[in-house]
Structure 1
Amino acid sequence: MLFRVTARCIILQDGLLLVQLSKKGDFYRLPGGRVRPEETVLQGLQRELMEELGIPKIGDARLAFIVESFYRRRSGIVHELGFYFLCKSPIGPNVKPREDHLKLRWIKPEELNAKNFKPSALASYLRKLDGARELQPRYIINVDVGQV
């Protein structure tokens, strides 16, 4: 079993949510990625957003969700602890990814569902999110391992 820590940003502007398409194009996820062992979660989030989107500083980042996920990869089961932050960002609607494999899209949160978003358990919470800054962090368990 592989264990990893990730940090991702929830960026809402004008009622739309910034998502990135997976490499295969079969699901959406939020911008961000893996946290390196020598980084704090927020340092990892800042580095990922700089690498992916060229955002030099994320500014106010408020922890919204902690998602503990279990899912299958070719190498076996992955146990992932994901930290999801509501982020204020200076990016505009025409933001361009800095990495060739990334494809970004602004979507209405209500377009998300368990089939087109990972982690699937987070989709229903994001559909209800209205950008409220008083949100209390929520812990979610996401299991998507299929048949073992």
Structure 2
Amino acid sequence: MLFRVTARCIIMRDGFILVQLSKKGDFYRLPGGRVRPEETVLQGLQRELREELGIFDIGEAKLAFIVESFYRRRSGIVHEIGFYFLCNLGNTEIKPREEHLRFRWVKPDELDADNFRPSALAQYLRKLNINGDIHPQYIINVDVGRS
């Protein structure tokens, strides 16, 4: 079993949420990625957004969700702890910096368990109130039947 820690950012503008399309193009996820062993979660998030989107300042990132996921890969089951932060970037330009990365703005109600990972988070993103107080929520996500 592999264990991973990830940090991802919820970026919303004008009622749309920024999502990254998987390499195969079969699902979306939020921008961000794995946290390296020598990094804090926020340092990992900052590095990932700088590398992927050219964003150097994530401002005041508010922890919105902690998602504990179990999913299957070719190498076996992965146990992942994901930290999901609401990031207010204002009008910061968002421009993919890596050729293989594809991003898209979608309405939150377009996200569901079939097209988003972790699948359990989709329903929470559809109901997210970015104008209210954010109280971090803990979510368990089990996708062991998916690859």
Shared fold (TM-score, shorter chain, > 0.5): yes
Q: Deviations over 1:36-76 (max 9, x none)?
A: 00000000000000000000110010000000000000000
Q: Which residue identity does 1:111 align to in structure 2?
A: E
Structure 2 partner of 1:39? 39
Structure 2 partner of 1:23? 23
Query: Structure 1 stretch 107-116 or stretch 95-104: which is displaced more?
Result: 95-104
Q: Which residue identity does 2:2 align to in structure 1?
A: L
Contact 2:54 / 2:94 at 8 angstroms: preserved in 1?
Answer: no
Contact 1:7 / 1:34 at 8 angstroms: preserved in 2?
Answer: yes
Distance across 1 between alignment mates of 2:129 and 2:110: 14
Q: Deviations over 1:69-94 (max 9, x none)?
A: 000000000000000000011455x7
Distance across 2 between alignment mates of 1:89 and 1:21: 20
Residue 24 of structure 1 and its aligned partner are, at CA, apart by: 0.3
Q: Secondary structure at the match of 1:47?
A: helix
Q: Which residue identity does 1:74 align to in structure 2?
A: R
Contact 1:55 / 1:91 at 8 angstroms: preserved in 2?
Answer: no
Structure 1 partner of 2:71? 71
| Paired residues for 1:123-134 under 5 Å | 123-134=122-133
Structure 1 partner of 2:145? 146
Q: Secondary structure at the match of 1:120?
A: coil
Structure 2 partner of 1:120? 119
Residue 95 of structure 1 and its aligned partner are, at CA, apart by: 2.9
RMSD between superposed Cα atoms in Å: 1.3
TM-score computed with the length of structure 1 as normaliser: 0.95
Distance across 2 between alignment mates of 1:142 and 1:9: 18
State how many pairs are aligned: 146
| Paired residues for 1:81-96 under 5 Å | 81-91=81-91, 95-96=94-95
1:7 aligns with 2:7: yes
With over 3 angstroms needed to count, the CA separation of the structure-2 counterparts of 1:91 and 1:103, relative to structure 1, is: farther
Q: Secondary structure at the match of 2:120?
A: helix
Q: Which residue identity does 1:41 align to in structure 2?
A: V
